[in-house]
Structure 1
Amino acid sequence: MDVSSLPRVVVVGGGFAGLWATRALARDRVRITLVDRSNHHLFQPLLYQVATAGLSAPDIAAPLRHILRGQRNVEVRLADVEAVDAAAGCIRLDDGTDLAYDYLLLAAGSTHAYFGNDQWAAHAPGLKTLDDALGIRRRVLLAFERAEAESDPAKRAAWLDFAIIGGGPTGVELAGTLAEIARHTLRDEFRNIDPASARVRLIEAGPRVLASFPDALSERARRQLERLGVEVLTGTPVTAIDASGYRLGDRFMPSRTVLWAAGVAASPLARSLGVPLDRAGRVPVESDLGVPGQPRIFVAGDLAAVTRPDGQPVPGVAPAAKQMGRHVAQAIRARIGGHAAPAFGYRDWGNLATIGRMAAVVHFGRIKLSGVLAWWFWLLVHILFLIGFRNRVVVMFNWTWAYWSYQRAARIIFGKGGSGGT
Structure 2
Amino acid sequence: MHRHGAEGWDMADQDAATGLTRVVILGAGFGGLETARALSRTPVEVTLIDRHNYHLFQPLLYQVATAALSPGDIAWPIRSIFRRQRNVTVVMAEATRIDPAAKLVHAGDGLAFPYDALVLATGATHSYFGHDEWAPVAPGLKQIEDATDIRRRLLLAFERAEVTRDEAERRRLLTFVVVGGGPTGVELAGAMVELARNALAREFRQVDPAMARIVLIEAGPRILPTLPEELSRVALRSLERMGVQVLTGTRVTRCTADGVECGEERIGASTIVWAAGVVASPAGAWIGAERDRAGRIQVGPDLSVPGHPGIFAIGDIAAATDAKGRRVPGIAPAAKQMGRHVGTLLAARAAGRPEPGPFTYRHHGDLATIGRRSAVVALDSMRLTGLIGWWFWGLAHVWYLIGFRSRVVVSFEWLWSYLTYQRGARLITGREPPGGNATPVPGQDGGALVADPQAQNDNTRQAQRLWG
- Normalised TM-score (structure 2): 0.88
Structure 1 match to 2:145: 131
In 1, Cα distance between equivalents of 2:145 and 2:322: 34
Structure 2 match to 1:87: 101
The answer to whether the aligner puts 1:342 opposite 2:360 as a matched pair is no
- Matched ranges for 1:9-408 at <5 A: 9-337=23-351, 339-340=354-355, 342-408=357-423
Asked if structure 2 preserves the Cα contact closer than 8 Å seen for 1:335 and 1:341, the reply is no
SS in 1 for 2:69: coil
Asked if structure 2 preserves the Cα contact closer than 8 Å seen for 1:138 and 1:419, the reply is no
RMSD: 1.3
How many angstroms does 1:335 deviate by?
Answer: 3.2
In 2, Cα distance between equivalents of 1:365 and 1:337: 37
How many angstroms does 1:340 deviate by?
Answer: 4.9
SS in 1 for 2:109: coil
Identity of aligned residues (%): 55
Distance 1:250 1:324, change over 3 A: same
Letter of the 1:24 partner, please give it: A
How many angstroms does 1:95 deviate by?
Answer: 1.5
How many angstroms does 1:156 deviate by?
Answer: 1.1
Letter of the 2:403 partner, please give it: G
SS in 2 for 1:326: helix
Asked if structure 2 preserves the Cα contact closer than 8 Å seen for 1:142 and 1:419, the reply is no
What CA deviation, in whole Å up to 9, does each residue of 1:265-297 have, x standing for no partner?
001122111121100000010000000011200
In 2, Cα distance between equivalents of 1:3 and 1:107: 27
In 1, Cα distance between equivalents of 2:51 and 2:355: 32
SS in 2 for 1:126: coil
Q: Which moved more, 1:327-336 or 1:216-225?
A: 327-336
What CA deviation, in whole Å up to 9, does each residue of 1:189-227 have, x standing for no partner?
111111111100000000000000000000000000111
In 1, Cα distance between equivalents of 2:108 and 2:419: 47
Q: Which moved more, 1:331-340 or 1:408-417?
A: 331-340
How many angstroms does 1:420 deviate by?
Answer: 5.6
In 1, Cα distance between equivalents of 2:62 and 2:201: 21
SS in 2 for 1:156: helix
Letter of the 2:321 partner, please give it: T
Q: Would you identify which runs of 4 or more consecutive aligned residues in structure 1 move more than 2 Å?
A: 333-342, 416-422
- Normalised TM-score (structure 1): 0.98
In 1, Cα distance between equivalents of 2:187 and 2:447: 21
Q: Which has the larger radius of gyration?
A: 2
How many angstroms does 1:358 deviate by?
Answer: 0.2
Asked if structure 2 preserves the Cα contact closer than 8 Å seen for 1:180 and 1:356, the reply is yes
Asked if structure 1 preserves the Cα contact closer than 8 Å seen for 2:29 and 2:55, the reply is yes
Structure 1 match to 2:12: none
Asked if structure 2 preserves the Cα contact closer than 8 Å seen for 1:256 and 1:420, the reply is no
In 2, Cα distance between equivalents of 1:335 and 1:316: 27
In 2, Cα distance between equivalents of 1:288 and 1:119: 38
Match among 392, 411, 415 for residue 426 of structure 2: 411
In 1, Cα distance between equivalents of 2:356 and 2:109: 34
Structure 1: state its 5+ residue gaps. none
What CA deviation, in whole Å up to 9, does each residue of 1:63-87 have, x standing for no partner?
0000100000011000000111111
Letter of the 1:370 partner, please give it: T
Distance 1:3 1:225, change over 3 A: farther
In 1, Cα distance between equivalents of 2:41 and 2:255: 51
In 2, Cα distance between equivalents of 1:276 and 1:151: 56
In 1, Cα distance between equivalents of 2:371 and 2:356: 43
